[in-house]
């Protein structure tokens, strides 16, 4: 029998991210996936800045960006009668506001390409073992999980005993089904075919550098997404008959109609059938098994929050599991995973349904086209929805200050407890530029204002206590802000201190400088080791 701290089921973007994060936190992790290797289909393209920040902490943001389609080819969204036809509407992205609010602007990258990067990252962690071609076929005792894992190439099965299980096993989630977990769901309400193909569409792109192009002319209906920087790889998604098996010739003809060129040379690379559906799982945890990513929530891809939400589930869960396994946190900390992430999934799923509705009711004749484009703003400009999440739970200490909420489109930067600690560019003693978000990698960090006394003992703990680092920010501190004032952005005076959790969300904010003992006590309380 194999024994591990955490078994991650599923090597999609969520499971791979969870495994790599757990590995960085020193948690012995086994990831299994029943597929022979990572996926071959470019499903989710829109990678939000918040997701890039998580991958930055893993050291792979640049690698993902290097396999993404560059911004000059993904500068907006278009609506056309066909790809060779008439343009009826466009929404161009403004220069990324995220340059100011994040060191990692979002990117447009095909899922199979970033999964390969994440696979390598997970494998590179000494504490992580990754096994593709291995299926979990049974789970016993979710409170003390024992699972049967079958190697598909040999047929050999083994029992794996895990302290905790992360079920990142996708929207059909066999684990969720086996454990009989219910969902709040609308059910299926549409069926699509996504055709991944090769064709030279570069000549059509000169003045239309759209990441996504909806083709809306009669017979051409569908959506094109650019997959490769050389503009020779694409997907075409169209509403399909769920009962019909499409031949290769039919798929090629559908692409040709969307392009508006019946003679276009098209090579089909892969085909994915998928359903429109929406669901949020009732319980995000059964015993010691946690649902993460599509196994916990699924919604239409409009707005692009499926994978992005899942990566942030993984970020939220990984440090809490590490805190229980390595830093002596109480198991009650794990309850805050559902408390914090379920409302986000519920909100994102409502937004995705609204986006689907806005697309479905759009009209593209001359009279209505502009109003239809305008109605898509909250679909495609979602910085507030992406970055403005503020958690409320026992793992956050409210400071009683009013919280200015972000809207879907507008991100209101805030370092209020529960919010993502904002990005401020800093220069370290070695002269290198870094971001505040780099300081909380895998540990708690107390960001201390220039006017606050800096505690003598500033080294992270290594003896089973939670690691707490201290970073003094100011002209005479460890880090000097470049440009924006840290005090202004974080809403603290000269002596203020902000305690940030390992997932980059603010745990507590102090107007007066706290002693190291106070900070340590606050951390113990957050970890469920002190009452109150």
Ligand X SMILES: Cc1cc2nc3c(=O)[nH]c(=O)nc-3n(C[C@H](O)[C@H](O)[C@H](O)COP(=O)(O)OP(=O)(O)OC[C@H]3O[C@@H](n4cnc5c(N)ncnc54)[C@H](O)[C@@H]3O)c2cc1C
Q: Where do contacts with ligand X occur on this chain (CB under 6 A)?
A: 9-15, 32-35, 43-46, 111, 135-136, 168-170, 174, 194, 237, 274, 293-294, 301, 304-308, 310
Which residue number, 29 or 308, has a Cβ lying nearer to ligand X?
A: 308
Smallest distance, ligand X to C-beta of residue 212, A: 9
CA-based nearest residue to 349, from 185, 234, 166? 185
Smallest distance, ligand X to C-beta of residue 443, A: 26
Torsion of CA 151, 154, 156, 161, to 10 degrees: -20
Which residue number, 13 or 496, has a Cβ lying nearer to ligand X?
A: 13
The greatest distance separating any two alpha carbons of the chain, rounded to the nearest whole angstrom, comes to: 74
Which residue number, 295 or 436, has a Cβ lying nearer to ligand X?
A: 295
Angle (nearest 5°) at CA 25 between 45 and 284: 60
Smallest distance, ligand X to C-beta of residue 520, A: 36
Smallest distance, ligand X to C-beta of residue 185, A: 15
Smallest distance, ligand X to C-beta of residue 216, A: 18
Residue 88 tokens, joined? 């009826």
Smallest distance, ligand X to C-beta of residue 28, A: 19
Burial (CB count <10 Å: 0-12, 13-18, 19+), residue 72: exposed
For residues 87 and 78, the answer to whether their CB atoms sit within 8 Å is yes
Smallest distance, ligand X to C-beta of residue 137, A: 7
Q: Give one DSSP letter per residue of 315-372, joined into a string.
A: HHHHHHHHHHHHS---THHHHHHHHHHHHHHHHHHHHHHHHHHHHHT---STTTHHHH
Which residue number, 307 or 419, has a Cβ lying nearer to ligand X?
A: 307
Which residue number, 307 or 508, has a Cβ lying nearer to ligand X?
A: 307
> What's the CA gap between 455 and 483, in Å, rounded?
26
Which residue number, 89 or 301, has a Cβ lying nearer to ligand X?
A: 301
Smallest distance, ligand X to C-beta of residue 7, A: 10
Smallest distance, ligand X to C-beta of residue 437, A: 20
Residue 217 tokens, joined? 């002319």
Which residue number, 284 or 305, has a Cβ lying nearer to ligand X?
A: 305
Torsion of CA 270, 274, 376, 87, to 10 degrees: 40
Which residue number, 168 or 527, has a Cβ lying nearer to ligand X?
A: 168
Neighbour count for residue 219 (Cβ, 10 Å): 10
Which residue number, 337 or 479, has a Cβ lying nearer to ligand X?
A: 337
Smallest distance, ligand X to C-beta of residue 10, A: 3
> What's the CA gap between 9 and 136, in Å, rounded?
7
> What's the CA gap between 80 and 59, in Å, rounded?
39
> What's the CA gap between 30 and 160, in Å, rounded?
9
**Cβ within 8 Å of residue 78, ≥6 positions away:** 87, 89, 90, 208, 210, 212, 213, 214
Angle (nearest 5°) at CA 72 between 47 and 91: 75
Which residue number, 13 or 103, has a Cβ lying nearer to ligand X?
A: 13
Angle (nearest 5°) at CA 22 between 21 and 24: 65
């Amino acid at each position: 029998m194999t024994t591990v701290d955490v078994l991650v089921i599923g090597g999609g973007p969520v499971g791979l991210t969870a495994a790599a994060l757990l590995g960085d936190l020193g948690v012995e992790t086994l990831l299994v996936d029943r597929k022979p290797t990572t996926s071959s289909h470019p499903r989710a393209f829109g990678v939000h800045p918040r997701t890039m920040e998580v991958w930055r902490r893993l050291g792979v943001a640049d690698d993902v960006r290097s396999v993404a389609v560059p911004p000059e080819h993904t500068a907006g969204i278009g609506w056309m009668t066909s790809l060779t036809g008439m343009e009826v509407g466009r929404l161009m992205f403004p220069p990324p506001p995220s340059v100011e609010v994040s060191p990692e602007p979002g990117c447009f990258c095909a899922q199979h390409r970033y999964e390969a990067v994440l696979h390598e990252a997970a494998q590179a962690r000494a504490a992580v073992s990754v096994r593709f071609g291995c299926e979990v076929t049974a789970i016993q005792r979710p409170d003390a999980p024992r699972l049967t894992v079958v190697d598909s190439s040999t047929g050999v099965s083994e029992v794996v005993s895990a302290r905790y299980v992360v079920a990142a096993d996708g929207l059909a989630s066999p684990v969720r089904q086996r454990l009989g977990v219910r969902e709040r769901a609308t059910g299926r309400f549409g069926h699509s075919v996504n055709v991944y193909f090769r064709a030279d569409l570069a000549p059509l792109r000169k003045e239309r550098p759209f990441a996504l192009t909806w083709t809306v002319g009669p017979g051409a209906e569908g959506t094109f997404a650019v997959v490769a920087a050389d503009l020779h790889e694409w997907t075409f998604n169209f509403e399909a008959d769920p009962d019909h098996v499409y031949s290769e010739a039919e798929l090629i003809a559908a692409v040709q109609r969307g392009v508006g060129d019946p003679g276009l040379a098209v090579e089909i690379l892969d085909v994915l059938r998928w359903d429109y559906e929406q669901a949020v799982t009732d319980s995000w945890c059964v015993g010691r098994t946690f649902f993460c990513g599509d196994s916990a929530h699924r919604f239409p891809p409009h707005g692009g929050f499926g994978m992005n939400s899942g990566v942030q589930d993984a970020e939220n869960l990984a440090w809490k599991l590490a805190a229980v396994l390595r830093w002596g946190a109480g198991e009650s900390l794990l309850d805050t995973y559902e408390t914090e992430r379920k409302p986000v999934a519920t909100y994102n799923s409502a937004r995705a349904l609204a986006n689907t509705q806005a697309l479905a009711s759009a009209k593209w004749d001359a009279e209505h086209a502009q109003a239809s484009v305008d109605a898509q703003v909250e679909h495609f400009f979602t910085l507030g929805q992406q970055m403005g999440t503020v958690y409320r739970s026992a793992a956050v200490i409210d400071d009683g200050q009013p919280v200015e909420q972000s809207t879907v489109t507008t991100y209101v930067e805030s370092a209020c407890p529960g919010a993502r600690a904002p990005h401020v560019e800093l220069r370290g003693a070695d002269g290198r530029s870094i971001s505040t978000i780099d300081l909380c990698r895998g540990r708690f960090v107390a960001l201390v204002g220039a006017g606050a006394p800096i505690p003598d003992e500033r080294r992270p703990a290594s003896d089973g206590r939670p690691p707490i680092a201290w970073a003094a920010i100011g002209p005479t501190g460890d880090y000097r802000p470049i440009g924006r004032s840290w005090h202004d952005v974080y809403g603290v005076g000269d002596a203020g201190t902000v305690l940030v959790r390992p997932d980059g969300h603010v745990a507590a904010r102090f107007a007066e400088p706290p002693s190291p003992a106070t900070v340590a006590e606050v951390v113990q309380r957050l970890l469920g080791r002190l009452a109150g």
